[in-house]
Structure 1
Amino acid sequence: MSHNNQKNRFETENQILMAQQWMDGPIGGIAGAPPARWQRKRADTSTANTLNHSLNASLLLNTANDNALNMSNNVLNMSANNIAVNTLTKTPSNTPNKRATPNRSTPGCALKTTNSTNKAKTPKTPCNGADRFIPNRSAMNADISHYLIMNCKENENQTIDGNNQSTANQTAISENLVGDLSNFRIMCYQNKAPIAAEGQANSLKVLYSSSKCGSSSKKTSRYIPTQPERILDAPDIKNDYYLQLIDWNASNILAVALMREIYLWNANTGDITNLLTLDEELYVSSVAWIEDGNHLAVGTSDGDIQLWDTDHMKRLRVMRGTAGRVGAMSWNSHIISGGTKTGLIYNNDVRVANHLISTLNGHNQEVCGLKWSPGGQYLASGGNDNTIQIWNNSVTTNADNCKPIHTFTEHQAAVKALAWCPWRPSTLASGGGTADRTIRIWNCQNGTNLYTVDAKSQVSSILWSTDYKELISSHGYSNNELIIWKYPGLAKVAELTGHTARVLGLVMSPDGSTVASVGADETLRFWECFQIDAQKKKKTNFVPKDKLIDNALRSTIR
């Protein structure tokens, strides 16, 4: 019984084994049938291993080729540099250079020189090479640049025209349209770097954020005395901002009005002379010397203008007026213009009996500033109505055409300080009163305001220095000082202090080296702030100090 069971079990296991072999073998024993599963699996594994080995070998070969190529380039660069250096620095010899032999240990390696011992290095960018230029088009005038480039191209294709008149007309039209282009650069920067805001901290340390703030006074190379050269007492000077109480003529004689009297001080000799004394109820409101001579115009509180010959100490004539005191006067050749308290301006010809030529009505309050320009083309008038009127010289010949060509209303207070630029007769400087405290520069050809600066105090007078291209201004409340300004730009150069009350007027010596200021502190101070070169220009001769009264710096003008 047990023997039959073992036999049956053996037969069953044999059948199972045959079934497994049949499953792993070809399907149904058919020729050309797909291979068995275990054969396919082993074949796939063998193929993958073969591909991996091929790919790795290919990558290694490419890497080797790249390294060889880089080494070849480096060696060639180094060899070229060595050859260039040897060519420039060594003296040529008769021995020819040896040929480079290939490195046989490394296939594909570039040729190397046998005498090269340094390792190959990548050449650096030369330090003196050009850098990139990144323009800022917002700071350029692209229109003018395009015009200049196109104009050059057109000129190359055009023939030279012999008509000089046509060329001159084209030049004039071009200057009127685009300005003077003779010194204009193409694609040039026109604006400066912006000023950084106060308190700004920039970690990049760029140019505009690290610039220093400008000082309040401009540094100058010349020495400017801060103390007056001499002082004269001016007792009983009338403390009135609207009056013109001092003037200096071409003969170096200074005229000063002290209430009812006028005194003449000769700067050459130091002599002091009393010219006139008015009645008790009157006072002198203005004085003005003729341009080249010793005739003095005297304005009075009752509206008259007196003409005096100071050489003979004689009054020549009186030109009557009815419009109140004459607080400002100015000469234009033989014509004396006077501004009155009512706002009217009278133009008088001193040569004829009927002296009144024309009357200008441009101010509705007192005229406190009046100046003719050099050459007599313009007349500027400033009034207590805070305006400046610019008149053409035709008002002296045509009484019917008495209208101002420009009216400036930017000042916020009375305008007494007026001064024309000596080297640019169409440029006017003006200063405002206590409520304004500004100095303005005007172009009277087109009526534009060129510059403006806050003077911090009342402006009573302005003068121009031709030698130094500067301005000097006198001030009242609240600083009572003189300030020198650089032109153009109006940068402060120096401050001259000493007056204890407001400065009423300011005049300049004939040579332009000395300025005299009269103040409400009843002093007349002389400042040598524009010293001139003795080799280039003869200086005005002042009386030596040792000849002054009591051998003192300070004396009285009366």
Structure 2
Amino acid sequence: MGPSTPTRSKGAATALARSMATLGMDSPLTDVSANVRPVRMTLSPMRFKTGKSNAPRSRQEKEDIVPSGMDDARAMISKDWDGPDGVLPPRRRSAATIGHQRGDRYIPNRDLNRTSASSAQPYREDAAGESLTSIHYTERSDSVSSSASSLAEIDPHAGLEDVCAFEQGQRILSFSAAPPSSISGQKDPRGRYATKKATLPSSLTAAGRRRIPTAPERVLDAPAIVPDFYFNLLHWSAQNVIAIALQSAVHTWNSETGEANFLMDLEEESERVGGGGLISSLRWDADGNILAVGTDRGYTQIWDVNRGTRLRTLRPDPNGGADASTINTIAWAPDGTLNVGYASGLIREHDVRQRSSVTRSLERAHAAQVCGLAWRDDSALLASGGNDNVVKVWDRRTSVAKMRKENHCAAVKALAWSPHNSSLLATGGGSADRCIHLWNTTQNTRVQTIQTSAQITSLHWAPHYREIVSSHGVSNTENNEGALNVWAHPSGQKLAELPAAHDGRVLHTSLSPDGQCLATVGSDESLKFWRVFEEPTDMNKSAAQRGILGSGYKNIMGSMRTNTGSRSAAPRSLR
């Protein structure tokens, strides 16, 4: 049967009330219910002044004992209930409790009770009254005593350097390793800690082994080419075939065999498929077999060049609309997706393998006409530039721009994805801007800006070097109009300049499939070839072995050389 509820004895309560009345105080227990247990205060055991040991012998005595210095009323206070007699066993303290009491719970293995029998020095105490350890004290006792004896002999008027036994000019504190000692016949070793200057790419530092020519390798005529900044009329395919549009006609030239072919002329096409207008853009697919041709009336023709047949025509809305405007630029993704940019600001995406080819329409992608389109090599991101001075990057999974930048002050036609860094995009502005901006499309930040002095019509990255070439149109200086410039990356330093690549603006450019030769066509109606990115010496081969501008060049040069300016003269000369 459990113990009964403890109750206050009647005699103790009467004595307590009498003592409180004697002191002139109200008893705090008069209003307390009998069913509520009052809080019990335990006093620490003390010694009386008599000198006798009054340590409690039992738990009952420990709780009843009161110092003799207190008033008689407090001496009459008794405990509220009777506990079991006998001495309780001492409570075992855990290691965690000991560590907590010592104030060091995070390093429980520290030995704070370690003493040294050989040490006669008492321990010091910190602010908390805890004794400090004497680890390493005995090992250093001899050095401390010797230092103390030496300090006693120091002249009180001596300087700090004499007291500390340091020479003047000697470093006392050091936050880095000391520099290596100099070796006879060697320069100052401290020079290796100096900041190094930015160096040029390795392609130009090998004792001048690579030279960027300042004259074109080949020059051909491109009569009656439309001198429009917003058109894109030249492209070099992966099969080493160049396609160029001369007003309403398209011509191809195979640089491996030297064979020139006439592909099509809108004047000979029916109006149902877009005949009777001008060609405003063209683009090879990733494999170099299919050519997309855009017109100024919004028609897109898909051609199989090897067979010379038109595979399909993508027609605009017959009732008129955003797609019934000039197609300024075309871009093929490596996976076969076709994108078309219109002068109305519309970007339309097609899958030409399907009957209903339209897969996405970006209405009002730009507030003005679309100038440039460029797919990244993984077919994941599409970059676009417009006459509204805006650069955008589109994720093919959404219709919302992933990145939008308005740092340019003119139309953005030149777009180029870096082959060395998939997140790096280069863009070039028009005549009022004249800047090349490099963007990190992952972080949506501008990495670098290169100031030029002319309108930027195109940009191409070198596949073998950390370099980029820019072509220019209208310039604020007479010497820079129609120039080509090669820039180092990431320093942005100009490596080479061809100030008069064309007598007038450079309209369109395209890089060869091996990334070495740049084809340019200008307002002077000439097509030129520049070897700006020749391969390194260990990879260099002759042009005939690569088939670029090879043995067939002389034949095509003679067939394309014509001085007539009519629209139909050039196609007839190439048949």
TM-score, reference length from structure 1: 0.59
Query: Offset of 1:355 from its aligned partner?
Result: 0.4
CA contact 1:430–1:440 (8 Å) conserved in 2: yes
- Report the Cα distance in structure 2 between the residues aligned to 1:435 and 1:296, rounded to whole angstroms: 33
Report the 3-state secondary structure (helix = DSSP H, G, I; strand = E; otherwise coil) of the residue aligned with 2:486: strand
| Paired residues of 1:270 and 1:542 also in contact (CA < 8 A) | no
Structure 2 distance, partners of 1:360, 1:445, is 22
Contact residue 255 and residue 550 of structure 2 kept, 8 A: no
Kindly state the Cα deviation for residue 501 of structure 1 after the two structures are TM-superposed.
Answer: 0.9
Task: Report how far residue 533 of structure 1 moved.
Answer: 4.3
Assess if the C-alpha contact under 8 Å between 2:258 and 2:556 holds in 1. Answer: no
Question: What is the aligned partner in structure 1 of residue 303 from structure 2?
Answer: 308
Mapping of residues 399-548 of structure 1, within 5 Å = 401-478=398-475, 479-496=481-498, 497-533=500-536, 535-536=538-539, 540-544=546-550, 548=554
Corresponding residue number in structure 2 for 1:123: none
Amino acid paired to 1:523? S
Instruction: Give a deviation string over 1:248-275, Cα, whole Å, max 9, x none.
Output: 1111000001100000011112211110
Render the CA deviation track for 1:400-421: whole Å, top value 9, x for unaligned. Answer: x411011010000000000000
CA distance in 1, matches of 2:336, 2:402: 23
Q: 2:286 aligns with which of 282, 288, 291?
A: 291
Q: CA distance change for structure 1 residues 455 and 499 in 2, over 3 Å: closer, same or farther? A: same
Whether the 8 Å contact between 1:246 and 1:506 is mirrored in structure 2 is yes
Aligned-partner Cα distance in 1 for 2:343–2:259: 34
Report deviation, 1:553: 12
Equivalent pair of 2:258/2:552 in contact (CA under 8 Å): no
In structure 2, distance between residues paired with 1:131 and 1:370: 65
Alignment of 1:259 onto 2:247: yes
Determine helix, strand or coil for the equivalent of 2:416.
strand
Aligned to 1:331: 332
Aligned to 2:237: 249
How far, CA to CA, are the matches of 1:230 and 1:353 in structure 2? 43
Change (3 A) 1:134 1:392: farther
Shift in alpha-carbon separation, 1:547–1:537, aligned structure 2, 3 A: closer
Q: SS at the partner of 1:477?
A: strand
User: Counterparts of 1:494 and 1:274 in 2: how far apart (Å)?
Assistant: 36
SS at match of 1:299: strand
- The change in CA–CA distance for 1:240 and 1:348 in structure 2 (over 3 A counts) is same
Cα gap change, 1:546 to 1:282, in 2 (>3 Å): closer
Indicate conservation of the 8 Å contact 2:534/2:540, yes or no.
no
Percentage of matched positions with identical amino acids: 38
Equivalent-residue separation in structure 2 for 1:443 and 1:413 (angstroms): 21
Checking the alignment, whether the CA contact within 8 Å between 2:245 and 2:279 is kept in structure 1 is yes
> SS at the partner of 1:483?
strand
Separation in 2, partners of 1:407, 1:550: 44
Alignment RMSD: 3.0
Higher helix share: 1
Deviation of 1:393 after TM superposition, in Å, equals: 2.0
Q: How does 1:221-236 map to 2 (within 5 A)?
A: 221=208, 222-236=210-224
Larger Rg: 1
Q: Which residue of 2 aligns with 1:349?
A: 351
Q: Does 1:375 align with 2:378?
A: yes
Structure 2 counterparts to residues 33-432 of structure 1, below 5 A: 221=208, 222-279=210-267, 281-321=276-316, 322-332=323-333, 333-361=335-363, 362-394=365-397, 401-432=398-429
Question: Cα distance, 1:424 vs. partner?
Answer: 1.1
Deviation at 1:542, TM superposition (A): 3.2
Q: Deviations over 1:145-180 (max 9, x none)?
A: xxxxxxxxxxxxxxxxxxxxxxxxxxxxxxxxxxxx
1:299-358 Cα distance to aligned partner (Å, 9 max, x none): 111111110000100000001123301111111122100000100100000100000011
Gaps of 5+ in 1: 1-129, 141-187, 194-213, 395-400
Give deviations 1:85-135, integer Å, cap 9, x for gaps.
xxxxxxxxxxxxxxxxxxxxxxxxxxxxxxxxxxxxxxxxxxxxx986999
Work out the CA distance in 1 between the residues paired with 2:253 and 2:378.
Answer: 28
CA pair 412-390 structure 1, distance change in 2 beyond 3 A? same
* Segment drifting more, 512-521 vs 280-289: 280-289
